């Protein structure tokens, strides 16, 4: 499923510097770096942060990757520090969706693109229950609509997109 999401993401103009929120163990980090982006990979999990620093050590040393331990609701980046903010398969883990979306908007100059799993993906792309994913998706969609995001739903994932310029 990441291939479908990455194909969609490839159609967006992310700019040079990308804040990746909920980086986890680096699937999206790797994809972004392979396309020549400078990445600020952010995750709340200390084990994921340690893994990213080790697995992508050469990118960190080259100044192409900054790895940050922080929650999505309080990103330790400056206003407009990155061209875009991207989150793939992490939104269902975030407690305060509106606060996280506002933070992503704050750090991104150009656009915010968020991808997450639909209830139909439960047990296929992730270990979560359909009920859990449905509740989180409905909260995210309602919040995103209120904040002016465009929503697109596919069978196993959905995208929230807000272009700032």
Residues 6+ apart with CB under 8 A from 50: none
Q: Which residues of 81-109 are buried (b: 16+ CB within 10 A; e: fewer)?
A: bbbbbbbbbbbbbbeebbebbebbbbbbe
Task: Enter the pTM of the model.
Answer: 0.95
Q: What domains are defined for the chain?
A: 2-163 (3.40.50.150)
Q: What is the pLDDT of residues 20-41, one digit of tens each?
A: 999 999 999 999 999 999 999 9
pLDDT in tens, the chain (165 residues): 689 999 999 999 999 999 999 999 999 999 999 999 999 999 999 999 999 999 999 999 999 999 999 999 999 999 999 999 999 999 999 999 999 999 999 999 999 999 998 888 888 777 888 899 999 999 999 999 999 999 999 999 999 999 986
pLDDT at site 50 = 98
């Amino acid at each position: 499923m990441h291939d479908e999401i990455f194909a969609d993401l490839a159609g967006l103009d992310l700019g040079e510097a990308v804040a990746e929120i909920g980086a986890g163990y680096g699937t999206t980090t790797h994809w972004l770096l392979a396309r020549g982006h400078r990445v600020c990979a952010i995750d709340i999990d200390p084990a994921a942060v340690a893994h990213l620093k080790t697995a992508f050590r050469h990118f960190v040393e080259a100044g192409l990757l900054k790895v940050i331990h922080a929650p999505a609701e309080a990103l330790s980046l400056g206003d407009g520090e990155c061209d875009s903010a991207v989150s793939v398969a992490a939104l269902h883990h975030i407690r305060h969706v509106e606060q996280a979306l506002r933070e992503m908007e704050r750090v991104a100059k150009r656009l915010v693109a968020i991808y997450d799993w639909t209830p139909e993906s439960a047990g296929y792309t992730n270990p979560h229950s359909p009920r859990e994913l449905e509740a989180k998706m409905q909260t995210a969609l309602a919040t995103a609509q209120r904040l002016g995001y465009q929503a697109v739903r596919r069978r196993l994932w959905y995208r929230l997109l807000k272009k700032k310029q």
